[in-house]
Amino acid sequence: MQPAPSKSTAALWMMGWLSLMLTVAIAGRQVGREINVFQLMEVRSVLGFAMIYPLIHRMGGLRAMRTARLELHLVRNLVHYLAQLGWFFSLLLIPLSQLVSLEFTMPIWTAVLAASFLGERLTTRKVVAIGFGILGVVIIVRPNAAAVDVGQLTALAAAVGFAISVIAVKALTRTEPVLVILFWMLVIQSVIGLVPAIEVWQWPSTQGWGWLLVVAFGGTFSHYCMARAMQYADATVVVPMDFLRVPLTAGAGWLIYSEQLDGYSVLGAALILGGNLLNLKTVPPGSRAVQA
């Protein structure tokens, strides 16, 4: 049964997503210096499956994971696997601030796709919220647009892939339990990445295994949080909340790496927060929608 819409509940689930994705970025960079990205992706999927199996067993076992929408699961996970692969590659090629900046073009693609394929209303309020978020991101990271390299192009392509994946997840949540979506993600992506991972396999160090466990846990349950958030609100409401990951990343840099927070970061964070608060407000009945 589809739960009643609740932006506040969606926001709570997105807090879980934000925390776990920040953890994945830090752990992924650490272990990515030791093993190949294909191996990282495969171990993440296999370990993630092991982590959610108790939930699967509690829900009724593998029989409860049956789906009538296998084609959409396949398409979604092929696109998501390639996008995640590009994201991890970019994590090792360009500064984290640039990666996050390019990744946050995703809400633009998500809003357009959600309006086009899911019939969601792209209201003026949502457009303004997204605009505030994008402006805040640009002010914080101030990317160097004059020098686009392979890492930046890969990150941009990954953002488009993530947007397609988000739209597919939103469509799936209309008929599929969250755990079923997560189950098929891990199974399909394990199969897709098996051969490439075997080709480049090398045993991680003890510390490497620790980082892999963190990546697997964060990567798996972050998607659970995102899918749960999608059950309570439109994709064009949920995705702009992810803008908060930028100031959170800046804060983590200050705490972990002693990176200084400047006035640009504070201003950008204020714009991002303002955009999200605007987006979380109830839209008055009959509000005008922007045609996409």
CA atoms of 72 and 24, how far apart (whole Å) = 26
13 has pLDDT over 80: yes
Confidence of residue 287 (pLDDT cuts 50, 70, 90): very low
82 has pLDDT over 90: yes
Strand partners, 20: none
The pLDDT of residue 288 is 37
CA atoms of 289 and 120, how far apart (whole Å) = 9
Tell me the pTM.
Answer: 0.76
DSSP 25-86: HHHHHHHHTTS-HHHHHHHHHHHHHHHHHHHHHHHTSGGGG--S-HHHHHHHHHHHHHHHHH
CA atoms of 215 and 223, how far apart (whole Å) = 12
User: Would you tell me how many other CB atoms lie within 10 Å of the CB of residue 277?
Assistant: 11
CA atoms of 81 and 175, how far apart (whole Å) = 22
CA atoms of 66 and 48, how far apart (whole Å) = 19
pLDDT in tens, 154-204: 888 898 898 888 888 888 988 898 899 999 999 999 999 999 999 999 999
pLDDT in tens, 16-66: 988 898 899 889 888 988 999 999 999 999 999 999 999 999 999 999 999
Q: Both tokens of residue 115?
A: 């309006």
Q: What is Dmax (Cα atoms) for the chain?
A: 59
Domain boundaries, the chain: 7-280
The pLDDT of residue 184 is 95
